[in-house]
């Protein structure tokens, strides 16, 4: 079986590709080849099967057509313009996040293999802010362009699945914490920064108050959920292809308390409160509490504790992040 990952040069794409390469299979099916796609070349992991890296524009039909063949069994769609950038550049956000998703789904349709498509949607498809609790049947009402683009992508996955062109799953990922590497243009970037920069001896900027709550997921949990979605029985999903995975609701204050417990007082002193109305407006519309009964019934694993999340970053990604900063 051939596997394609878009957005494969990003950190989740790299981790998922490495996991698939190491395991050599998805569920009961052996992986025979893997294609990694992004705007920049993705590094191919060591694998017992051929791995090719392709670069290009996710919205270009000719390029994307070559990513999916009759032998493609799984497509994981991670490629996206992140939240604050999508809000700032309206045209680019819609071109990549919607047109790119439609182009990829159309390539799957033309290939005729009805692959499993795992679409990474987002907490941002919902609004309601801090007071909201999102149930499995809550209607998406996005509060920004990024959320609207992801919600539109979910509807595409739904309809292409209903027509049996693909067998889709939309995973509404929480804010992924701690992201390795450098801060990016995601509005939620501060959530990783306050648990990452202090361990590097660098300042972290905090644009929200300590009682601000977020729905988060560790990289380990996110990769587990994506891998599970690749192998999930589509019949169990029925018509509704969207899943709220079992994320973790935490306040910024709780995150800082764990930072202090693991990193000490010096780490805490490196977090500085700043005003950023643009970021506060975007993340302030996102709800922080999600019901996850459906995801658990579908076999998505429960999340680890916040302290385990931080210690996993130190074990998995701190050294690589430090080396990147040094370079």
DSSP 135-199: -TTPPP--SSHHHHHHHHHHHHHHHHHHTTS-EEEEEEE-EE-S--SS--S-TTHHHHHHHHGGG
pLDDT reported for residue 16: 98
Cis peptide before 42 (omega within 30 of 0): no
Please report, rounded to a whole number, the percentage of residues in the chain having pLDDT higher than 70: 100
Q: pLDDT of 220-279, one tens digit each?
A: 999 999 999 999 999 999 999 999 999 999 999 999 999 999 999 999 999 999 999 988
Q: Which domains are seen in the chain, by residue range? A: 2-174+218-243 (3.40.50.720), 189-214+248-288+304-326 (3.90.25.10)
Q: Which two tokens stand for residue 122?
A: 């987002």
Distance CA 230, CA 265 (A): 42
The string of pLDDT tens digits covering residues 112-138 is 999 999 999 999 999 999 999 999 999
Which residue numbers are catalytic? 146
């Amino acid at each position: 079986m051939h596997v394609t990952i878009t957005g494969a040069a990003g950190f989740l794409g790299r981790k998922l590709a490495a996991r698939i390469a190491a395991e050599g299979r998805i569920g009961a099916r052996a992986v025979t080849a893997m294609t990694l796609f992004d705007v920049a070349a993705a590094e191919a992991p060591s694998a017992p099967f051929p791995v090719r890296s392709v670069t290009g524009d996710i919205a270009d039909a000719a390029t994307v057509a070559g990513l999916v063949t009759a032998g493609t069994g799984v497509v994981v769609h991670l490629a996206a313009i992140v939240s604050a950038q999508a809000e700032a550049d309206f045209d680019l956000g819609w071109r990549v996040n919607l047109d790119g998703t439609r182009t990829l789904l159309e390539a799957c349709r033309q290939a005729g293999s009805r692959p499993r498509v795992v679409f990474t949607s987002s907490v941002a498809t919902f609004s309601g802010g801090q007071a909201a609790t999102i149930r499995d049947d809550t209607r998406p009402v996005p509060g920004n362009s990024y959320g609207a683009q992801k919600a539109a992508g979910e509807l595409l996955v739904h309809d292409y699945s209903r027509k049996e062109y693909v067998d889709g799953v939309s995973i509404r990922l929480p804010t992924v914490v701690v992201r390795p590497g450098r801060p990016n243009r995601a509005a939620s970037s501060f959530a990783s920064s306050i648990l990452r920069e202090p361990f590097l001896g660098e300042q972290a900027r905090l644009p929200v108050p300590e009682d601000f709550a977020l729905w988060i997921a560790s990289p380990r949990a996110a990769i587990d959920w994506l891998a599970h979605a690749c192998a999930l029985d589509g019949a169990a999903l029925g018509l509704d292809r969207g899943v709220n995975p079992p994320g973790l609701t935490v306040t910024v204050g709780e995150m800082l308390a764990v930072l202090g417990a693991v990193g000490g007082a010096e780490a805490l002193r490196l977090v500085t409160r700043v005003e950023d109305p643009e970021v506060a407006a975007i993340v302030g519309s996102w709800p922080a509490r999600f019901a996850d009964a459906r995801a658990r019934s579908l076999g998505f694993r429960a999340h680890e504790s916040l302290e385990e999340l931080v210690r996993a970053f130190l074990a998995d990604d701190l050294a690589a992040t430090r080396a990147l900063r040094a370079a």
